[in-house]
Structure 1
């Protein structure tokens, strides 16, 4: 693709409008710094880190790259004020927030010189982000892995609708792993893309090797969006998933769902490699990911595919 600046590259001072999703248990300093060093925007995933671990990852990322990087902060997690304080103390300049009210921290963070992007799954919430004054909006389709929206709106439907209602830089997320998909998202109105699943299956991702190998074995239909009663999440249909689904046979009992979820199920699956009893979060696009490669190779493939996409006259 052209290195000409657009809204996203100009905002974050990066070479390519490619943002790496701040995925829990995947997005440590190695992945974030590698993405930034290759011209994108790397994000450290604070959602799976205790505050001291987050600080360590920020410091190591600063040592590993002189390029811009940021931190992804799901606002539903505990220790939120402490996490924000660490981000400020360590001089991070970019933050992506999700799963909460964008008004909560946006003004405070911007006064400290940070650029703030917020992740949404609907046009309604994108408009609320615009009203809250965020610097960029990530519109994430139903295809995405991990925590997701309840409306099940696909990226192809979401992006053009959001584009009609906002003026801020728009970043498309959900179902993007190929350069052709990136170009399609930008044709629909996105200024850039956020990619998660493709970066989950890289050498630099901090997730367990067994989980990475599981990702590249997945096919269409191997993931499903569930747990709408709590916080919708797309996960692999393994034993843990089916144990959850059995609870629906006796009704939608929220307390039973919480008890089955227990604690640290996602860590058990994606970080420790328990492919049966752990929670395995990944997007539908995993069916297109068939090899574990380096971040550098991901960028090479994305850019090559993007440039090779042909347009056809009717």
Structure 2
């Protein structure tokens, strides 16, 4: 077992990303039951909803699971208190300063992992005492780094400077990409888009179908003047792209974004007017399958490719 498997007490070093509107208790418990680490995405939940999902996840699996906690969320204090009260074993923090909550969470015996997209924030998170880092490359769906550093560049960059375990994220949906990340220095992988189309994902079926129809080039990093986010192309994304091309300022983009656009698209299924967050790897996804099947296919291919590389005769 490597450090990630030991840290989380999981069989496979495969983590399901905490995706808003996709990662409820059904998906999280299914991934954990299969031997990975399932994550409840708290970013789309009011405090009472988060408590309900944690309790249902505990009822569905006795294995470890985590909560993803965006630190800029307005109900952050209530979320933290619920996580402590419900004795959630692992928290993945993102979108904010890890200095604010890491010590409090760890004082209650909670393992803390922080999501970063560059070396600067990885070093800061390590200094603040987090237990591991998720290094998320430019390929990833959802909110992303302004630097646009790809996973291939980001992982070895962090490995040279970081001594705590690194979990690679962005563009990973098969065993080959997992093996590549391990070769670069990662000890685990976080998978988002592939689990977004799992049977247990809480994403709307229309959104899942839109993902499966995606081709190469159908996603784009947008809204860099606000919080960068990778979006699947639709009418809403085209309006955003047009506004950005015309030099729209932050206030104009905020008005265009409005409220609850992600919920409208990803959870309610309005694939024209909603915000559809998904990664570049969506172009490789072809069907809706159970979370366990997705996880095991990645792991088995990882082992097969590891043997293939070992047996290469390169002279």
TM-score (norm 1): 0.97
SS in structure 2 at match of 1:165: coil
Instruction: Indicate yes or no: 2:45 matched with 1:45.
Output: no
Unmatched 5+ stretches in structure 1 = none
Instruction: Tell me the equivalent position of 2:11.
Output: 15
Q: Aligned residue for 2:294?
A: 298
Unaligned 5+ runs, structure 2: none
Tell me how far apart the structure 2 counterparts of residues 303 and 6 of structure 1 sit (CA, whole Å). Answer: 15
Question: In the alignment, does 2:76 pair up with 1:61?
Answer: no
Deviations 1:237-285 (A, max 9, x none): 1000011122124323111110111100000000000010000000000
8 Å CA contact 2:172–2:178 kept in 1: the answer is yes
Partner of 1:172: 168
Question: Which of the numbers 204, 220, 225 marks the counterpart of 2:216?
Answer: 220
Report 1:237-248 matches (<5 A).
Answer: 237-248=233-244
Mapped pair 1:191 → 2:187 = yes
Number of matched pairs: 310
Residues 188-212 of structure 1 deviation map (CA, whole Å, 9 limit, x = unaligned): 1000000000000110000101111
Residue matched to 2:248: 252
Structure 1 segments (4+ residues) deviating >6 Å: none
Measured after TM superposition, the shift of residue 177 of structure 1 is: 0.2
Deviation of 1:313 after TM superposition, in Å, equals 3.7
Give, in angstroms, the shift of residue 75 of structure 1: 0.9
- The aligned residue for residue 181 of structure 1 is 177
Query: What is the match of residue 157 of structure 2?
Result: 161
Q: What secondary structure does 2:31 align onto?
A: helix
Residues 177-236 of structure 1: CA deviation (Å, up to 9, x unaligned): 001111110111000000000000110000101111111111110000010100000001
Of residues 288-297 and 58-67 in structure 1, the stretch that sits farther from structure 2 once superposed is: 288-297
Tell me whether 20-29 or 124-133 shows the greater mean CA deviation: 124-133
Query: Deviation of residue 167 (structure 1)?
Result: 0.5
For the pair 1:211 / 2:207, whether they are aligned, the reply is yes
Q: 2:88 aligns with which of 92, 95, 100?
A: 92
Residue in 2 aligned with 1:262? 258
Residue 67 of structure 2 corresponds to 71
The answer (yes or no) to whether the contact 2:32–2:65 under 8 Å persists in 1 is yes
Q: Matched residues in 2 for 1:97 and 1:255: separation?
A: 27
